[in-house]
């Protein structure tokens, strides 16, 4: 079945440094979504990318969908302590019915 891997699994950064997480799917995706889960919390939707090569920005966050629609990245500029959490990518699978989540990247920001 489809696998969605993310790297790195963990990342510690100093506050103010940049952070990037990468998402790779074993199959082509019709779209990709990104979610953030704060410690002890639930996943919260950040964004959805649909087009090949698409780039979207949300303040300090930049999301990119690969040309082949099999990979994606999330880049955070000048991290803040409020960015702490686990970032998941997610994509459709199983005949586009279910949503499969990536393995996640846990971000720790050191003040």
Partner 1 sequence: NAGVMQNPRHLVRRRGQEARLRCSPMKGHSHVYWYRQLPEEGLKFMVYLQKENIIDESGMPKERFSAEFPKEGPSILRIQQVVRGDSAAYFCASSPRQGADGELFFGEGSRLTVL
CA distance readout (Å), 5 to 2, 23, 33, 51, 99 = 10, 6, 14, 20, 14
Within 8 A by CB and 6+ apart from 82, the residues are none
CB 89 within 8 A of CB 4: yes
CA atoms of 71 and 76, how far apart (whole Å): 17
Q: How far is the CB of 100 from partner 1 (least distance, A)?
A: 6
Binding status of residue 33 toward partner 1 by CB under 8 A: yes
Task: Among 45, 55, 81, 110, indicate the residue that binds partner 1 (CB under 8 A).
Answer: 45
Q: How far is the CB of 27 from partner 1 (least distance, A)?
A: 13
- Other residues' Cβ atoms within 10 Å of the Cβ of residue 50: 13
Closer to partner 1 by CB, 78 or 99: give it.
99
Binding status of residue 72 toward partner 1 by CB under 8 A: no
Residue 18: both structure tokens together: 């940049």
Residue 36: both structure tokens together: 């953030």
Stretch that binds partner 1, among 16-24, 57-65, 68-76, 88-96 (CB under 8 A): 88-96
Task: Among 41, 67, 68, 80, indicate the residue that binds partner 1 (CB under 8 A).
Answer: 41
Contact residues for partner 1 (CB under 8 A)? Answer: 1, 30-31, 33, 35, 41-45, 48, 88, 90-104, 106
């Amino acid at each position: 079945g489809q696998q969605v891997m993310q790297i790195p699994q963990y990342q510690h950064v100093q506050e103010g440094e940049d952070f990037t997480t990468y998402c790779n799917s074993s199959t082509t995706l019709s779209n990709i979504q990104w979610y953030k889960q704060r410690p002890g919390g639930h996943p919260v939707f950040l964004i959805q990318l649909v087009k090949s090569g698409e780039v979207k920005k949300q303040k300090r966050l930049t999301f990119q969908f690969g040309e082949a629609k099999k990979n994606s990245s999330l880049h955070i500029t000048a991290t803040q302590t409020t960015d702490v959490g686990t970032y998941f990518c997610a994509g459709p699978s199983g005949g586009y019915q279910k949503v499969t989540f990536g393995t996640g990247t846990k971000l720790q920001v050191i003040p």
